Amino acid sequence: MLTEKYKPEKLEDVVGHKEAMDEILKWFDFWKPGNKPLLLYGPVGIGKTSIIQTLASEKNFDFIEMNASNYRSAKQIREVIGLSVSQQSLFKRGKLFMIDEVDALSGNADRGGVSEMIKLVKETKFPIILAANKPWESKLTSLRKCCTLVELKKLSVNDIEKHLKKIAEKERIDIDKEALREIAELAGGDLRAAITDLESLRYKERITVDDLDVLSTREKEQSVYDALSKMFRADTVLNARRALDNVEKRPEELFWWIETNIQSEYKKPEEIVAAFDALSAADVFQARIRATNKWRFLVYMIDLMTGGVAMAKRKKRFNFVRYQYPTLIATMGRTKKARNEQEEHLAELAKQLHCSTRKVRTEFLPYLNLF
């Protein structure tokens, strides 16, 4: 793929991010055991991984990339990431670790992912760079204090356009200037998305602005109502999935938005049945994620609850639909205070009984409720 083919080979090849690159190099050059790790943050697709991979290559370090969403609990971090960080390189070179998606770590008392990560980065003998899309979540407060923060901002349209032009020339892709500019603008600062869009159109003899209708627009932080409309009316699985890319809501929350509004969007029984079949399959994967903590299933969940539901329609509709707020989410909001109080009581009981709050809830609470 072009995204892989045109990854930077040297730090000077990195598109944009000059100030951030200076900060990263300064941190790396002066790092020694006991120094703070780097927390690199910014939106998806702006080059966090490729920058660190290029840095490791240029400095002749082994690059080890791990994803925190796969190791969320204290035990998993200790047994997998901790073990890797403590081992010497087979080639007796330095090692540079990148731990991506640290915003997926568990911050609660039962799993302790954040506290274990803090312990790990303080004790490591190798430089560690953490990466996150949303570093300001409250559960990461203590981790942020232990890190040197560097922000990667969205790339400018001009930077993306120049890079696309270079790729188009090398690949002999015939594309109008206006179309090239439009792809750069649609990307919304996401270079990877822009390159992917260019590749999806390269089969045409000449790419013009008229050919860009197949690309979904990327309006950042768009309304969930607008996103649902685009998703339900998408003509491909890819466009259905992309429709929800820029909504600032978790997949499990979007699941309930879709479930609540299927019957508002679809009227034919066979369409409703097909949509709920796809959604139920997505729910199976959601349950597997909760049960096994294997987050690789998330991609299947998202594909089914977006593309699967969108493909349930027999023909495209253009009528206005008033989407409803999910009743489950509304109920959870109303009961938040009561649930927080319950969690505090469960935590106190767990402390007295020397077990987890989960065990108190599942094994002790049913009996206590009898009295």
Domain ranges of the chain: 2-151, 157-214, 224-329, 337-368
* pLDDT recorded at residue 42: 84
pLDDT of residue 112: 66
pLDDT of residue 219: 43
Neighbouring C-alpha atoms within 13 Å toward the C-beta of 33: 9
Half-sphere exposure (CA, 13 Å, Cβ side) for 263? 5
Whether CATH 3.40.50.300 fits 2-151: yes
Q: Please answer whether residues 40 and 130 qualify as being in contact, where contact means their C-beta atoms are separated by less than 8 angstroms.
A: yes
Pairing outcome for strands 128-132 and 148-151: unpaired
pTM to 2 decimal places = 0.53
User: Low-confidence residues of the chain, pLDDT below 70?
Assistant: 68-76, 78-93, 105-112, 213-223, 246, 248, 317-320, 328-340, 367-371
Of the candidates 371, 368, 338, 344, the residue with the CA atom closest to the CA atom of residue 357: 344
Query: Does 2-151 match 157-214 in CATH topology?
Result: no
Helical (H) or strand (E) element with 100: strand 95-100
What's residue 110's pLDDT?
Answer: 46
* Domain at 157-214, CATH class: mainly alpha
pLDDT of residue 218: 45
Query: Are 279 and 294 spatial neighbours (Cβ–Cβ below 8 Å)?
Result: no
* Residue 161, phi then psi, degrees to nearest 5: -60, -45
